[in-house]
Amino acid sequence: MKNIKGYVNFVLHAHLPYIHHPESEDYLEEEWLFEAISETYIPLLLNFQKLEEEHVDFRITMTMTPPLLNMLDNKLLQERYIKYLEKHIELCEKEVKRTVYDSRLNNLSHYYLDRYTNDLHVFKDIYKCNIITGFKHFQDAGFLEIITCGATHGYFPILYVNEKTIRAQIAVGVQTYKKYFGKQPRGIWLPECGYVPEADKYLKEFGIEYAIVETHGVLYADPTPIYGTYAPIVSHGGLVAFARDLESSRQVWSSINGYPGDFNYREFYRDIGYDCDYEYIKPYIASNGARVNTGIKYYRITGKDCPKDYYDVQWAKDSAEKQAGHFMDCRNAQIEHLSNYMPVPPIITCPYDAELYGHWWYEGPYWLYILFKKIYYDECNFKLITPSEYIDMYPRNASIYAM
């Protein structure tokens, strides 16, 4: 039996600006969505599925913003994503033939062919072209809590000059959530984590109980919170606020010593869209002839100011596994320390952009999978939790502050 002294709250903010051009089939901006589906949303779903099949009891929170939900539900964009995958599979098949001269390169070309082929299978056959149903499944199963956001991701501290605009942002966010998930959202990711007290009455009007805010949104509350960001606080308007933990954020986000900079990880900025012969790659780049990323990347970060070496999938997994253990050990130490000074169980809130996991940090979804397994099976002094679960378990943990 684990001696639980605190909790860790993972929050992934899934958002993309609304982009849709029905008047033309070739708009580069739409590929932002397609890249995110292949590199972030499907990998997250597949790793959640593995955890569920392995009977790992995990918890994670995700925002799915109204612009993103409406794009994922758009029939024309769904059809275009299938064409996007078919075009990538065609390119991968050519790459398998082109790279036969080098076994390491050829193994990678097979890897990408398998990956995009599996994406097509998952999207068409498993989720019937609508991956929203996948996330809804994990919410209904109790592993995932999905929260909402402002209608257009508008920044509340700017919009509050006309409070009706904030009300509309919240109203549409809640309405869109109910449309896709069939229930009332309890939480909201405030766009860019920007809080204004004027929004409280509208959040309360539409049934929002808590928000994810930036670190300084809690630390600079008046009076200063006794427990800093390690317990939620409640505004005079009744909004519970969970704030970003700086230490855990730094370990993932930092460009200097964050995990995504590991030399074994895939190099984001080296892509065959720029490396391959122009006439060969021309059918797979922008229609105006501009070279763009294809998503097929053969190199690892390798190091600073040195030639890039080929990416090795197993080396990358080895690094992810070590770093998952490091992250868990750091949270163990952090919670052990905090528990000596807090009469209530601390909660470490770890909010990130969802697209960091997979799109920018290619190995991110696998890192989460390993981390959640370690937390479940290994000796540690904390559990994963969602904000709603924490509020329900410890309703008196927060004090009233004027945020």
Question: What residues contact 198, with CB distance under 8 A and at least 6 apart?
Answer: 160, 163, 166
Phi, psi of 46 (to 5 degrees): -65, -35
| Structural domains counted in the chain | 2
Domain hosting residue 160, numbered range: 6-64+132-265+314-393
Are 365 and 379 in a shared domain? yes
DSSP notation for 157-202: HHHTTSHHHHHHHHHHHHHHHHHHHSS---EEE-GGG---GGGHHH
Same domain, 305 and 194: no
In-domain check, residue 401 = no
Q: How confident is the model at residue 331 (pLDDT cuts 50, 70, 90)?
A: very high
Amino acid 397: pLDDT = 58
Q: What is the mean pLDDT of residues 38-62?
A: 98
Q: 133: which DSSP letter?
A: H
Q: What is the pLDDT of residue 23?
A: 83
pLDDT at 398 over 60: no
pLDDT at residue 1, rounded to an integer = 59
| Residues 246 and 169 both lie in one domain | yes
Mean pLDDT of 266-270: 95
CA angle 127/133/136 to nearest 5° reads 145
Same domain, 187 and 289: no
Domain annotation covers residue 10? yes
What's the CATH number where 349 sits?
3.20.110.10
pLDDT classification of 15: cutoffs 50, 70, 90: very high
CA distances in angstroms from 313 to 85, 107, 261, 265, listed in the order given:
21, 10, 15, 8
Given this model, what pLDDT does residue 396 score? 66
Q: Is residue 271 part of a domain?
A: yes
β-bridge partners, 348: 8
Spatial CB neighbours of 296, under 8 Å, sequence gap ≥ 6:
88, 91, 92, 95, 109, 112, 271, 272, 273
**For position 99, what pLDDT does the model report?**
97
Instruction: Report if residue 78 sits inside a domain.
Output: yes
Q: Distance between CA atoms of 288 and 298, rounded to whole angstroms?
A: 25
**Cα-only R_g, the chain:** 22
Q: What is the pLDDT of residues 149-183, one digit of tens each?
A: 999 999 999 998 899 999 999 999 999 999 999 99
Instruction: Please say whether the beta carbons of 90 and 38 come within 8 A.
Output: no
**Among all residues, which ones are annotated catalytic?**
192, 353
Q: Could you say which of 278, 294, 310 is where a domain stops?
A: 310
What pTM was estimated for this model as a whole? 0.95
300 with 168, same domain: the answer is no
In a domain, 69, yes or no: no
Is 1 a domain residue?
no
pLDDT-wise least confident of 20-24, 29-33, 140-144, 247-251: 20-24
Task: Determine the pLDDT at residue 21.
Answer: 86
For residues 304-319, average pLDDT: 96
**How much is the pLDDT for 26?**
76
Are residues 222 and 149 part of one domain? yes
Structure confidence by residue, pLDDT tens digits, 351-389: 999 999 999 999 999 999 999 999 999 999 999 999 999
Residue partners of 51: CB distance under 8 A and separation at least 6? 58, 143, 369, 372, 373
Encode pLDDT of 135-146 as tens digits: 999 999 999 999
Q: What is the mean pLDDT of the chain?
A: 94
Tell whether 398 is covered by a domain: no
pLDDT score at 287: 87
Looking at the structure, tell me whether residues 253 and 275 fall in a common domain: no
Same domain flag for 21 and 104: no
Both 11 and 100 in one domain: the answer is: no
Asked if the model's pLDDT at residue 223 lies above 90, the reply is no
Q: pLDDT class for 2, splitting at 50, 70, 90?
A: confident
Is 402 a residue whose pLDDT tops 60? no
Note the pLDDT of residue 148.
98
User: Is 46 in the same domain as 85?
Assistant: no
User: Does any domain span residue 48?
Assistant: yes
Domain final residue, candidates 310, 345, 375: 310
Note whether 161 and 299 are same-domain residues.
no
pLDDT of residue 304: 86
pLDDT of 96 > 60? The answer is yes
Q: Are 285 and 251 part of one and the same domain?
A: no
Q: What is the mean pLDDT of residues 213-241?
A: 91
Q: Is the pLDDT of residue 401 over 60?
A: no
| Domain stop point among 310, 342, 374 | 310
pLDDT recorded at residue 27: 77
